[in-house]
Structure 1
Amino acid sequence: MEIASRVILLLLLPLFNFVVAQNASRGAQEFHVGGILDLETMVGKIARTSISLAMEDFYAVHQNYSTKLVLHIRDSMRDDVRAASQAINLLEDYNVEAIVGPQKSSQAVFISKLGNKSHVPVISFTATSPSLSSKSHPYFVRATLNDSAQLNCIASIVKTYGWRKVVTIYEDTEYGRGIIPYLVDVLEDIDAHVPYQSVIPPSATSEQITLELYKLMTMQTTVFVVHMSFTMASRVFIKAKEVGMMNKGYAWIMTDGVTNLIDSLNPSVLKSLSGILGVKFYVPKSTKLDDFTTRWNKRFQADNPTDLPLKLSTFGLWSYDTIRLVAEAAEKVGLTNATFTKPGVTRNSTSLETLKTSGNGPKLLQEILQNQFEGLSGNFDVSDRQLQISTFQIINVVGKGWREIGFWTAQNGISRQLNKSRPATALSGSARDLYPVIWPGESKEVPRGSQIPVRGKKLQVGVCTSGYPEFMKVEKDYITGATKASGFSVDVFEEAVKKLPYALPYEYVIFSTTDDRSSEDYNDFVYQVYLKIYDIVIGDITIRYNRTFYVDFTLPYTESGIAMIVPVRDSINRNTWIFLKPLAPGMWFGSVVFFIYTGVVVLILEFLGNNKNVRGPIPSQLGIMIFFSIFEGKELVQRFLSRIVLIVWLVFLMVLTSSYTASLTSMLTVQQLQPTVTDVHELLQSGECVGYQRGSYVKGLLEELGFDRLKIKPYDPDDFHEALSRGSNNGGIAALVHEVPYIKLFLSNHCKGYTMVGPIYKAAGFGYALSKGNPLLRDISNAILNVTGGDTMIQIEKKWIGDQNNCQNVGPLTGSSTLTFANFRGLFILTGVASTSSLLIALIIYFYKKKHKTTKIMLDNTNLPEENGINEENSELQEGNQDSTGVEQNTQRAGQEENGLEQQTSLEMAAETSIVMSRNGSTVISRGKRTTGLQVELM
């Protein structure tokens, strides 16, 4: 290969001489530019052909330019030292104004330092390592993307398919290491962890690569992100296919270092990549690009007649656009300051100390950074000293080719169509936003991300018999040696494992405790996880603060809290006066008050309406008032306002009567149970004894609440019923303080006679303990949520605890059925408003009529003629006597008739005339409404 490359260089020399001669003939000034490529690599060969075409195309269009690039290409032969040596040679012997193409990031680091020293811009279209920054290398320009630009795209793919664990595989080079810290941080931001990082040195043998892959197979994680050069990646994927890691269940994501060259890979290598996802720089299609690709293929065959055909890659397009970038900048700068200043040196100085400084360098760098154009690769903008982040294409390798499944942009995230505009973040996306993928093993099922380790051991699950066998019971099969566990906690754990997105093999390992099953024993049990004896411990383990110092707990799978078990008693005393209990004292008082008020209002209304039935002695009026309040009494009530008041009052009586009847019936037929103790503070004030389960941490809680130690008694579960039934005064306890799950279990066996009060104290409930940072923690917690939120949990509770719906004492008890004033507040308000408003309206009408009639009579008296006064008085006196006689006769007839009430009412409305004669002989006539007929008074 070295001989062939030298032959190619000799063939190219005449072409370069011809170009120089043409420039000289036209008077164009030579602008020397150095080029450093690895001509034996695929990228180097592709770049060399692209650079040659770029020179021809550019100056064919710009023949009038006063400057013309003269390229001095050197082969680094994949060696960093040789690349540095060639750069020094170009700077010393050819006074190059710029250096293009340090191909490897490790080469670009040192050559950029030379550029800093000599003020010569160094432009690389392949060095992608993030370690190359403009701060430390001000004369370095990256005409390609920074490797970190693709990290958000990779993270979006991981999040899209719901993977939470990823293993990185990278080569131990400047290029490979540079991206990994940034990749881990981005994955952590989406809550995807990197449990292992696989590093493969460039010098690794096939056996070493195989051993590393076998190691990865022993892990649960099956999602891998590969960041390598295409040469190393080809070796790794071929071995991965051999060991079975390209089968169903695995997922691979390749960075753009390989996918940008995907079309140029060997078909055998491409076949080993079948099923992987890749991130590829997106190049917009155009007619210009198609024409260039055709010409490029022909030129590559001519330049490399003995090599296999290669396809144009993104790196080739970037090299093409880089030459245009430098050529346009050179024309703007010109060669007016084409001077190189040689520093003062001593006699024994090295060649690095004798490097000359370019006078055009700063201005050339400025023109390069300011130049922006639409190149073959798309928008070519290096104003930020590197190519700006653009669009990434997500591809899926299938067979010997690849297909596009979507795009990623910083504005829209992942989408199937490039121009799809939607509000999104850079890390958003779902599987529906990508086209279906053919995964390794030609599977269409999305890999879960984890599976059974090929050589891993089973999960060690610690179990121990609980004081409540319903929650955990452990038995040892002495024939097979297997440990069998059963109970509520076991069923929840096994159902949660079934809900995991991957298979999780496990086995139970028994832990022996003392007979009292105290909290101290459970502390030791949980501590075994910290000692790495068990991977996880399950059972009725309370999540407590002191235990979280050395283990992590899953989400609780039981109801949380600490409550009391107390006896219940009938709250109603069925004695002689039980008929008074349906209504509260306030209700009785309010009803009586409104009863009296309504009767008084109706009595006043009828009195103002001249109803004769309401006139008479006080006892009679009191009886009428009571009658009005209870009965409607149409024959007694004549005014419309009175009837409105009575209708509203009747509605009130109907509602009150029906409610009273229902409440009294409930008291006589339904047993009303109430707890003997409703609050823990009642126990503190009364000084009664309380109990707790022996060995439980509840004892310390009771002491913190202020209970006397002599009043706190420990009991075993079998003794709870007897202690509560005896009571505090008979050597027992008034209440038992316990955790809610245990209380529910007790009440399922002793449904009658006891109830739960509380919770009186917050507790986290029962959970499973795992080691700190265990990746299973989140998965099992999510699975527990899945179990507890569905019908599965109900069935497990019925199996081990019983049907809680059959016990009326579980949960809050119904309160007393006594009706209070507040229950009927609305009706009271309605009745009061109706009565009061009717009374006010009647009073207003009464006083208005009285005032109107008085005014009219006074006006009539003023208009009487004085001369006819006596005659009129006599005439009126006679008329009054006649009227009086008629009234008396009508009154007598009214008393004899059957409907005397109506006629009497009409007769009572007759006008009364009173004649008063003064001492001096004058006569005064007075008329007014009276109820007793005509009256004459002599003064």
Structure 2
Amino acid sequence: MSHLLSSQTETALMYDAVHLFAKALHDLDTSQQIDVRPLSCEAEDTWPHGYSLINYMKIVEMKGLTGVIKFDHQGFRSDFTLDIIELTRDGLQKAGTWNSSEGVNYTRSYGENQKQIVEILQNKTLIVTTILSAPYCMRKEASEKLTGNAQFEGYAIDLIHEISKILKFNYTFKLAPDGRYGSQNRETKEWDGMIRELLEQRADLAIADLTITYDREQVVDFTMPFMNLGISVLYRKPIKQPPNLFSFLSPLSLDVWIYMATAYLGVSVLLFILARFTPYEWHPTHTPDGEKMENIFSLANCLWFAIGSLMQQSCDFLPKAVSTRMVAGMWWFFTLIMISSYTANLAAFLTVERMDSPIESAEDLAKQTKIKYGALKGGSTAAFFRDSNFSTYQRMWSFMESARPSVFTSSNKEGEERVMRGKGSYAYLMESTTIEYVVERNCDLTQVGGMLDSKGYGIAMPPNSPYRTAISGAVLKLQEEGKLHILKTKWWKEKRGGGSCRDDTSKSSSTANELGLANVGGVFVVLMGGMGVACVIAVCEFVWKSRKVAVDERVSGALMFIKY
């Protein structure tokens, strides 16, 4: 804002100054003889009457055009008032007064002040500093043929354009020479990046994904946030592993399978003992040697009865005694629950892709050392962990500082590439909005956990900038009109490959995957294995029976084979 002294005031001040000097010189001449002689500027000689003239001017008090003229003991004028005027579109207008005791006193209201600022902004060209950071500011694909503002595009570019349409100012983009956001050197206390451009008055505004932090707020001014966000973790999606050949065993844990086998053997042995003990399982049979009591529940039959029940199949003999029927009933109930549970869980295991991530939050990162993690060097995310008083974040910062090679990156793009190359061995800490942009375009990456803090991006400007309130009002207007949301949707989900991962996600969530041979191949292996074992047992049975018959009838095994 340009404050000027009126021409009348300047003339009056000049008149009073000359008048005071003339009066002092006249009074001094009447009190003593004043000699005038030439003096050299390079010599040490002084005019002997100079100090007397200055002292007289300090103590004199007279009435002038600008009021009472008098000076304090240091030689500064005191107790006088000046008019403050502004250069507006209607010409010079009085804006207030200034006096040596009370300072500035504006005579117009705050609303009129903001109105004057908006009028000053109109048709004014502001220098806007930024850095290349997708999707906030990017070079156009044919930018080598373009110059000036036309070579840039992005969320921040559109945002400044919308604000300029409201406040009617012009702007020129200028990239920060070092390509950094702005951090303070702990030793020299100097700032770099866009913040330095503002402090050294080389730019009027700074816009990018620039986080509003306490340290930055101490040296520059920020508008109200145009985007709210927080720190989160960028990590690579778990790589889908090929299904295990024996994946049909997955619905039940190893412990449950062992307990089921133990229960099967235990129930079979108990059924055999009870069937031998109870008299109701014995029945007479006629043999050549006479009538004889027989029990059908041999150990082999008990094992066959139990396995048949477990496989939901019938058996050609059933228990008759109350005790053995109680054992059979409990075993059937047990098999009903276990088979139903196995069937339901098997369907989920074979049709749903299971990709378990080794980390689910930042706390999981802090508890391990195998997966390394880092952040942007000199950025607000690194400063958050460095200055945090929370023990978990302090431990994470110590890990990041001591890690070799360094886990810090010079840009978010480098962090994204490092996560991809790491294949699960590296995680990157960055702002959630940037993670949203990345995962919309790279289907192999994902956000892990929620946000660690809450902050915002703002437009920065030099300290005590008169444009702060006007630009904040424009941002608020864009937010109320929904244009900020429209801009985010445009650059996050529509432009430059946005939304390429949404179709895959919806398809996998709405339809089940068909089962391939890799999913159920283990069942075929078990079947073939069982057939092979059965063949081996049959050969063994034949050899055993042949030897026994040969011994009884005293004939060779070969003749026995011909007889049969």
TM-score when scaled to structure 2?
A: 0.47
| Structure ranking higher on relative contact order (CA contacts 8 Å, 6+ apart) | 2
TM-score when scaled to structure 1?
A: 0.31
Which protein has the larger Cα radius of gyration, Structure 1 or Structure 2?
A: 1
